[in-house]
Chain A
Amino acid sequence: MIRFILLQNRQGKTRLAKYYVPFEESEKHKVEYEVHRLVVNRDPKHTNFVEFRTHKVIYRRYAGLFFSLCVDITDNELAYLECIHLFVEILDHFFSNVCELDLVFNFHKVYLILDEFILAGELQETSKKAIIERMGELEKQE
């Protein structure tokens, strides 16, 4: 299962953090710092997987943003790697040509999208269309 999801830029600023297992406040800061340090200096030619404590982080870089998922050591790495890409495609569709600024100013929307995509640390919906339609429904209610 996914333990947490982090969106961080190259400077280590957190753009989105979602934890599916309980962490203490201080621990969260530590985790965000450590994960950033772990992924930021890796060569693009390296694997997208890196061990983190007793779990592993599956990450992918899009422009200046790192999307990192922390998953169990026994989980299917490539499936989660493509799950990151699917999430990015959804964001891209929703914001039409997403950039970091969209995520900064609309962070609350990003949380909403994420909640339609992943729940309880597991994939909930893999149809881009279903999620975009759902977001449309929700926007109407606001």
Chain B
Amino acid sequence: MALSGMRGLSVFISDIRNCQNKEQERLRVDKELGNVRTRFKNEKGLTPYEKKKYVWKMLYIYMLGYDVDFGHMEAVSLISAPKYPEKQVGYIVTSCLLNENHDFLRLAINTVRNDIIGRNETFQCLALTMVGNIGGREFAESLAPDVQKLLISSSCRPLVRKKAALCLLRLYRKNPDVVNVDGWSDRMAQLLDERDLGVLTSSMSLLVALVSNNHDAYWSCLPKCVKILERLARNQDVPQEYTYYGIPTPWLQVKTMRALQYFPTIEDPNTRRSLFEVLQRILMGTDVVKNVNKNNASHAVLFEALALVMHLDAEKEMMSQCVALLGKFIAVREPNIRYLGLENMTRMLMVSDVQDIIKRHQAQIITSLKDPDISIRRRALDLLYGMCDVSNAKDIVEELLQYLSSADFAMREELSLKAAILAEKFAPDLSWYVDVILQLIDKAGDFVSDDIWFRVVQFVTNNEDLQPYAAAKAREYLDKPAIHETMVKVSAYLLGEYSHLLARRPGCSPKEIFGIIHEKLPTVSTSTVPILLSTYAKILMHTQPSDPELQNQIWAIFSKYESCIDVEIQQRAVEYFALSRKGAALMDILAEMPKFPERQSSLLKKAEDAEVDTAEQSAIKLRAQQQTSNALVVTDQRPANGTPHVGQLGLVMVPSSANADHNLEDQGLAQENGTLSKVDPQSPSPSADLLGDLLGPLAIEGPPGAAAPTEQHAIPASEGDPNPADALALAPVDEQTNSVQPIGNIAERFNALCLKDSGVLYEDPNIQIGIKAEWRAHHGRLVLFLGNKNTSSLASVQALILPPSHLKMELSLVPETIPPRAQVQCPLEVMNLRPSRDVAVLDFSYKFGTSSVNVKLRLPAVLNKFLHPIAVTAEEFFPQWRSLSGPPLKLQEVVRGVRPMLLLEMANLFNSLRLMVCPGLDPNANNLVASTTFYSESTRAMLCLVRIETDPADRTQLRMTVSSGDPTLTFELKEFIKEQLVSIPTATRPPAPQVAQPTSAATSLTDPGAMLAGLL
């Protein structure tokens, strides 16, 4: 049991084991770490054996959970030891202690390469193993060709080749470009002829990764995979050592079937027939046996076969066989099998039309929702969520609500979110929806996110028929002795808006409503008080004729909060107090909230956005993209013609026939309001977040919209300064006369993408173009996501890049048609040759039906993308600043017409432009110093320094100094920053004359600020 030859290590481990408590253990560990540290310091006296021993000790200490912050170098240096024992320790410990991002790894890259291309097989194995386990992008770029050579080499033993296959897989995952598809696809197919099952297992994993990215290139592998599967399933020529409990390597069978799931179909009838024979055999021939390992192994194969059958859309007969099997599995007692039955049934919902058969098992599934094992409960919840439709929504949602009271905390949030989504998606009538949400809040208020109650308010506001019902329900809940704060919020809001509709009912006079809401005030937090104040103001407004007693009571509350420390509460109190004395004018100001513009449910979006992180894209998901949309493509956008999307509850359910063309009217209205309130077209798109609408002081701003779509209030001239954010909610989306109009503001989207690396570049009712970018030094890789939002294809798709002279750009092939609901990814490589502010343009066009659309979109491959923020210290900054003494390397300009912003905002802007603000360098609090590195091919990495001096008395002007080692860079960077600071980016202005420094210079020459000023 003792370690051969490493007594010191064994003794140490025994010592640790003999420690009576944690404290003793820590002392012993500290002692050892001290010892190791001293020994490492005078490395000369250290024999390789000792070094090896200490490195093992370090790993042991590290495994115990202690921080080991030294010795990494020693571990890495052992990699280059000439003898196996030391080298082995170096490799193993390095791959445990360091991760792929560690700088030290870079130092080893040459040694590792030498081991890989060297002749010593053992060293090759060690090196391949380490790279396979922790190799990063840099390893991928420098080692992939060598690893590929080993994998296909005929002189290497299987031992080396299987490691090379997985090592290549790792490198491919780090950078898919290292495997050249053209050259590799034939080799990959040859690899599948391998007889050694170890090499085949590893190669199959590699294949799965390759086909998941690009199945087209690997068609030739398909028949070979089927052959392998046949060989294994029939147990032909499978060595005994590869059978596991009588089953020929279940893992390879599973992997092979996984690979097959990435090919969309199997066209060759012979191959297809052979595969179905094998699958049929697996489906029929898997029995439940006593031995648990054998059972698990055979069912691992069976479940993979089920997934493959589902994928291949087999003949109805086989599909119903699958459903029958799954139906059996979800009823068994063995928990693992039941879990997998539920999970696979959920997957089945996504790929085929078996909903009705699955519905028969509803009762059985609901029992699993109450299983003692949370894993099973989760699967049952997912399945119920997936199988829910209009026909069973009531039952399922009620079941979920019932379960909510007893569910464990870990599940309540998910449960309430899912119940809310189902209620919204499949509500047979809206009052039921209101009931469900209020019950949710009542039962699990802590787990109901704001989105959920905002959404119910939106529905009620937009549906007049619903308003009295919702108000009455809210009133009922207020009678309960203890209610959740969210319930207070939603009830107060609803009653403020609509309690006057209940006035004749018992217990619903304004006074009584006020009384019961006001009772809750002492129990609520600061975020709820403003809502209550708005409610009071609204109650007051609706009390006709006015009730002096109630009025005094409410006024007293307003004046009490006039000095509240919370600014939101204070402002509302002051304003409502003043407004409520205006008498009749109050009616206009506090009029009912206008309808909300229709927007995608943030709940549904949340559900869509929930992405899973997997090594390979899930085969089911790839397939499902044909049916539903990808997260980037918004599905439930209302089509241009105004008919609500089927299958989802439209936000507006038109109650009476008089409003048949309500949508059109609504749009017309919006148009009018838009012009009325002079909406700045540059402002954010109408999807401003809900929070702003509900919690913002909209209520007093004189709604620009109408209470009902048929009548329109004029905006009182005296109050005619509507908050632009609110007016925006009603702003027209676009003024263009084009038949297909973009959704959202293109310029706005571009500007946003200049500051971040992923988002939507363009969207219209047919297509959404998303972008995702990665920048490394002067290289960039953008991926364009072209998502077809329609149920028919987009044709004649063309994308041309018009690059400015300083950028080298290469766009991969864009397909001419985009299938319905599909998303196409087009990578775009960018290289920055020299500094310039010019912008690349994407000329994009497509045809949909009769209309053809052409847009020219600026691409966010702008100057700041090639910046890399870098923090500099005073010692680094000042010599550099001094050495760049004046034009053309250092340029200064007084900029006028600056968008007024606080210094902090400016600092944030700079940081988001990747100019790192270095606080403390300039002691004048009105100034700002920033530094960054610019990358281009001509300049290489170049340090840039920026100083901004602002004038607190006049925020519209500032003085800017920019310096770098390249005159063009200095000029371009200065102009670029200026564009970001002034309000109209495209306006050209005559060069401003130099004026005196707007801020007072520092007095003492000893502090760095004064030095800086002196240098300017």
Contact digits for B578-615, partner A, Cβ 8 Å, 1 yes 0 no: 00000000000000000000000000000000001111
Q: How far is the CA of A51 from the CA of B133 in the complex (A)?
A: 24
Contact B132 A78 (CB under 8 A): no
A88-129 interface (Cβ within 8 A of B): 101-102, 104-108, 111-112, 115, 119-129
Chain A residues whose C-beta falls within 8 Å of the C-beta of B63 in the assembled complex? 14-17, 107
Of B196-204, B492-500, B819-827, B911-919, the one touching chain A: B196-204
Q: Which residue of A lies closest to B258 (CB)?
A: A76
Q: Is the CB of A79 within 8 A of B201?
A: no
B251 near A78 with CB under 8 A, answer: no
Q: Does B249 contact A (CB under 8 A)?
A: yes
B299 within 8 A of A: yes
The smallest C-beta distance from A44 to any residue of chain B, in angstroms, reads 10
A142 vs B84: C-alpha distance when bound (angstroms): 7
A10 at the interface (CB under 8 A from B): no
Query: Would you call B85 and A105 a contact (CB within 8 A)?
Result: no
Do B67 and A25 have beta carbons less than 8 Å apart?
yes
Q: Shortest distance in angstroms between B18's beta carbon and chain A's nearest beta carbon?
A: 12
Decide yes or no: A120 and B614 within 8 Å by CB, A14-B64, A82-B244, A85-B293 being known contacts: no
Flag the segment in B165-173, B319-327, B973-981 that touches A. B165-173
A119 contacts B163, CB within 8 Å? Answer: yes
Neighbour of A43 across the interface among B85, B205, B372, CB < 8 A = B372
Query: Chain B residues near A46 (CB, 8 Å)?
Result: 335, 372-373, 375-376
Inter-chain contacts of A108 with B (CB < 8 A) = 3, 56, 59, 89, 92
Interface membership of B289, Cβ < 8 A: no
Q: Are A23 and B10 neighbours in the complex by a CB distance under 8 Å?
A: no
Q: Which of A17, A25, A124 has the most CB of B within 10 A?
A: A124
**Cβ of B69 to closest chain A Cβ, rounded Å:** 9
User: B378 at the A/B interface (Cβ < 8 Å)?
Assistant: yes
- Of B13, B336, B338, B620, most A-chain CB atoms within 10 Å: B336
Encoded as 1 (CB less than 8 Å from any A CB) or 0, chain B from 154 to 170 comes to 00000100110011011
Instruction: Indicate which residue in A81, A120, A124 contacts B198 across the interface (CB closer than 8 Å).
Output: A124
Most A C-beta atoms less than 10 A away, residue of B122, B258, B300: B300
Q: In the complex, how many angstroms separate the beta carbon of A93 from the nearest chain B beta carbon?
A: 12
- Size range of the chain A interface in the assembly: 35 or more
Q: Which residue of A lies closest to B5 (CB)?
A: A142
* A47 pairs with B376, CB closer than 8 A: yes
Whether B166 pairs with A115 at a CB distance below 8 angstroms is no
Bound: A13/B63 CA distance, A: 9
Known: A49-B339, A77-B336, A105-B10. A120 touches B254 (CB 8 A): no
Residue A40 lies at the interface, judged by CB distance under 8 Å to chain B = no
A78:B378 contact, CB within 8 angstroms: no
Asked if A135 CB lies within 8 Å of chain B CBs, one says no
Q: B691 within 8 Å of A by Cβ?
A: no
Q: A83 to B252: give the CA distance in the assembly, Å.
A: 12
Asked if A127 meets B197 with Cβ closer than 8 Å, knowing A47-B373, A49-B336, A82-B296, the reply is yes
B250 within 8 A of A: yes
Q: Tell me if B101 is interfacial: C-beta within 8 Å of chain A.
A: yes
How far apart are the CA atoms of A46 and B339 in the complex, in Å? 10
Asked whether A112 and B1 contact (CB < 8 A) given A50-B375, A82-B250, A120-B167, the answer is no
**Nearest A-chain residue to B134, judged by Cβ:** A22
- The distance from the CB of B233 to the nearest CB of chain A, in whole angstroms, is 15
- A45 and B241 form a contact (CB under 8 A): no
Q: Is the CB of B615 within 8 A of A121?
A: yes
Q: Nearest Cβ in chain A — how far from B645, in angstroms?
A: 29
**Minimum C-beta distance from B774 to chain A (A):** 17
User: Is the pair B336, A48 in contact by a Cβ cutoff of 8 Å?
Assistant: yes
A14 → chain B, closest Cβ, in Å?
Answer: 6
Residues of A within 8 A of B3 (CB): 105-106, 108
> Min CB distance, B609 to chain A, in Å?
13
Please tell me if B242 contacts chain A, counting CB pairs below 8 Å.
Answer: yes
Question: What is the size, in residues, of chain B's interface with A at 8 Å between Cβ atoms?
Answer: 79
B615-A126 in contact (CB<8A): no
CA distance A43 to B335 in the complex (A): 11
Q: Check: B219 CB closer than 8 A to any chain A CB.
A: no
Q: Is the CB of B167 within 8 A of A119?
A: yes
Contact A115 B129, CB 8 Å, known A23-B99, A47-B376? yes
Q: Is the CB of B251 within 8 A of A123?
A: yes
| B555 touches A (CB below 8 Å) | no
Of all chain A residues, which has the CB nearest B343?
A77
List chain B residues, Cβ under 8 A from A50. Answer: 374-375
User: Using Cβ atoms and an 8 Å threshold, which residues of chain B touch A128?
Assistant: 241
Q: Are B129 and A32 in contact (CB under 8 A)?
A: no
B336 & A78 in contact (Cβ 8 Å cutoff): yes
Interface string of B473-508 (1 = CB under 8 A from A): 000000000000000000000000000000000000
Task: Indicate with 1 or 0, residue by residue over B51-86, a CB within 8 angstroms of chain A CB atoms.
Answer: 000001001100111010000000000000000110
Q: Hey, which chain B residues are within 8 Å of A29, CB to CB?
A: 65
Nearest residue (CB) in B for A15 is: B63
Knowing A51-B378, A82-B250, A125-B198, the reply to whether A107 touches B166 (Cβ < 8 A) is: no
Is there a chain A Cβ closer than 8 Å to B618's Cβ?
yes
Q: Are B13 and A51 in contact (CB under 8 A)?
A: no
Query: Beyond A111-B96, A123-B251, is A47–B336 a contact (Cβ under 8 Å)?
Result: yes
The distance from the CB of B807 to the nearest CB of chain A, in whole angstroms, is 31
Q: Name the A residues within 8 Å of B40 (CB-CB).
A: none
Instruction: Kindly identify which residue among B249, B373, B375 contacts A126, using a CB–CB cutoff of 8 Å.
Output: B249
Cβ < 8 Å to A, chain B residues 609-635: 612-616, 618-620
Q: Report whether B4 and A142 are in contact in the complex, using a CB–CB cutoff of 8 Å.
A: yes
Residues in A with CB closer than 8 Å to B378 are 51
**B562 sits at the interface (CB 8 A):** no
Could you say which residues of chain B place their CB within 8 Å of the CB of A105?
Answer: 1-3, 10, 13
Q: Which 5 A-B pairs have the closest CB atoms?
A: A78-B300, A22-B99, A1-B615, A72-B614, A46-B373
User: Known pairs A74-B620, A81-B336, A85-B293. 5 more at Cβ < 8 A?
Assistant: A78-B296, A82-B293, A119-B167, A122-B166, A123-B205
Q: Can you list 15 contacts pairing A with B, beta carbon distance less than 8 Å?
A: A74-B612, A79-B304, A82-B251, A82-B293, A82-B296, A105-B3, A105-B13, A115-B133, A119-B129, A126-B244, A126-B249, A126-B251, A127-B197, A134-B159, A141-B122
A residues bordering B, Cβ < 8 Å?
Answer: 1, 13-20, 22-25, 29, 32, 42-43, 45-51, 54-55, 72-79, 81-83, 85-86, 101-102, 104-108, 111-112, 115, 119-130, 134, 138, 141-142
